[in-house]
Every structure is written in C-alpha cells, then in structure tokens.
Amino acid sequence: MSSLDWPDPVTETYGDLLDGVYDCVDRIVLNAYFVPAQSGGGFRTWWRRLTGGDETLDNTHLMRMAARFSRRLRASMKKRNIPVIPCFAGQRKSEIAAEYLPSDPEFQGVFCVLTGTAPGPVLEVQRYGNGGINVRRRKHQPRVKFYYFHIIDREWGHLIVRFCPHPPFNAQIILNGHEHVARAAADRKISYRKEGNCFTEISSAADLAGVADTMSTPGAGGRLAQVCERWIYSACLIFALGLDEQRETGFHYSYSVYQAEYSRNLLFQQGRQMEEVFQGTIDRTRPRLGLKTVRTIFGYKQRPRRRNARGEKPRIEVKVENPVFDLTIFKIHFGMCSVAGSKMDIDEMRFLY
C-alpha cells in the first residue's frame, strides 16, 4: 500500500503546501540469540557438542571464552588496521564512529570497533552434590564489556552490531531504514540530496515513496535476515567460535524485533512555509506537555511511592532543546523510559507516529 493511502490530519490540512509525502521505517533494532542456549539444559547440550563433556563447564571457562574473544578480535583488527576504541560514560559512540567513516563509496565491511560497559546477560554455573550442575542467568546482570562493530553494507549502508562476548553470545543489530532507502533510490537513478536522515532534495517524491514502501512489504523480513546473516557470523561471532565450531555445534541465530521507528515525512514546497507550520505546532504543544501531564501519562500520579532498585525516585523531566539552527529536540524522561522527537530541516518536516 502506498504512503498516500494512509492519510492523516496534518497531511490533509497542509496538502496544498506539499510536494509529496513518503513513509519510511527509520531505526530498526533486532535481537539476535541462539535459542537452545537460552535455557540451562539447552546450553549444557550445546557445551557438550563444543567440548565433548561437562568437565570444563564452570564459571572460569566461561570467562576465558570472553577473554579469548577479546584477544582474537584485537589481533585481527590490528592486522587489518581497523581501530578498536574504548568508550566511556558521557561519550556519544555515534559521533566517535562518524570520524572513522570510510570516504570510499565502494567500501564494504567493518571500519571500526567501539567498546563500552553495560549490564549484560551472563550465565552462572553452580556445581553441587555428586556431579550436579545448574546453569542459569545471574539474577542481577553484572556490567560487562560489549563490542560495537560498525559496518558498511552494500544495501543498508552503516549498521551496528552490538555483541556480548560472554556465552551464549547474544547480540543486537541496529539498522537505519533511511540509509537503505537512499541506496535503493541511487540504484534506481533517483537523484536526491540527503542530510542526516532527511531527504532535502528529491527529483521525484512519488518514486522515492515507492522505494520507501518496499520496507513495508512481506519480503522486508527476509531482507532484514539476509543483512544479519551476511555479517554476524563472519565479522563478529567468528572471534568467539570459528566457522568449524559454529557448524559442528549447530550454532545459528534467530532474530526478533526489539525496536522499530516509523516516520511520516512531509516534503514542503518552501522552507519558509514549513518553518511557520513547525513553529506554530511547537507553540501550541509546548504549554500542554508539562510535568503534571507527564506524571499522568506514565502513571506516576497514582503511584507516588514507586522507586527503582536503588531506592531512588524515577527522574521526571521535559526538555525542549535548540542546539543548532533549525533543529529542535523534544525529550521526555521518566525513570529508565525516554521519549524523544526530532528534527526539522530546511526542506522537510518529519512527524513520528
């Protein structure tokens, strides 16, 4: 179904000011996991295939697998002159990776690896009695080192694989739908100018909408699986399990959607008209979204005693930021939940649904 078959009040109201409209899947985050190893019994079965028995199944050997992953990765990246960069709290990984983006338009593969610590799903092995073994996830996830593989793919452009080096090697794949649309548009000879996630100039809005609509077809799931399969085994998992070990133990990832953002993009004929509409929208919504409203939306008004695991009250905050010209960012924070909206460009207005 075409983007134009999904009318909304904003599009209908300002239709006379628009050159076109297209819908696009924006940020896509997929969870990757080896299903049998998610349970204690399944993990023991896989470990026996890998090592031949339970004799080495203990916390020490699980930690050694993470250390071996790190050594192999660093040796391989050093040989290929690919930087491995540690990141610390407060640093934006996207900005660091942007400095290493390859200038060659034909480049494909890993161009940098970032590291950072975060709570991770680490397994714990308990031995008891006469050879009894219990494998389970730790109740409180410890902070472990994650590896962020920044990759250029021929169809999806810049993607990220967030990899946990601790067995069972769970991962996340982060994709950008706008980059996929841009590359598909280039293949179809549709000229455009793109700034960030915004198409600011398009030769044919209808043709671009047709390209963007392919992300909503039944075959989109297959394309997502294909890009994951292209990289996760050969570029990430291989440092923990060689290709022979992957094949002999039957290690194969399954995928589920963790996050998906869908955006409706309105292409205004004139930047001045777009700016007037945008500023009017901001002025009407800013006074309505106060802390009292946020408390009601998240249910805090009815649960004033709710605290997190450390005994702290959840953070409640509303921000409207203008860090640079023609860019406004809305942020709503409630504890660990955050809602953010952006952004305005000189030729485009984006509404997220």
pLDDT for 255-277, tens place per residue? 999 988 888 778 787 778 888 88
pLDDT band, residue 230 (cuts 50/70/90): very high
User: Judging by DSSP bridges, how do beta strands 171-176 and 157-163 pair with one another?
Assistant: antiparallel
- DSSP state letter for 7: -
Amino acid in position 42? G
Q: Which residues pair with 31 in a beta bridge?
A: 172, 256
pLDDT above 90: residue 138: no
CA distances from 210 to 24, 155, 207, 216 (A): 10, 17, 5, 11
Would residue 189 be called left, alpha or beta, if left means φ above 0 and alpha means ψ between -120 and 50 degrees?
A: left
Most confident of 137-141, 234-238, 308-312: 234-238
pLDDT above 60: residue 155: yes
What is d(CA 345, CA 184) in angstroms, rounded to the nearest whole number?
22
> Which runs of E-coded beta strand occur in 74-197?
84-86, 109-119, 123-128, 132-137, 143-153, 157-163, 171-176, 192-195
Q: Between these two residues, 81 and 20, which has the higher pLDDT value?
A: 81
The whole-chain average pLDDT of the chain stands at 81
Q: Between these two residues, 160 and 177, which has the higher pLDDT value?
A: 160
pLDDT above 50: residue 347: no
Q: Between these two residues, 309 and 53, which has the higher pLDDT value?
A: 53
Amino acid in position 347? D
pLDDT band, residue 336 (cuts 50/70/90): low
Average pLDDT over residues 63-77: 95
pTM, full prediction: 0.76
| Cβ atoms within 10 Å of 40's Cβ, excluding its own | 17
What is d(CA 212, CA 34) in angstroms, rounded to the nearest whole number?
31
pLDDT of residue 273: 81
pLDDT of residue 47: 94
φ, ψ at 351 (rounded to 5°): -115, 125
| Cβ atoms within 10 Å of 130's Cβ, excluding its own | 4
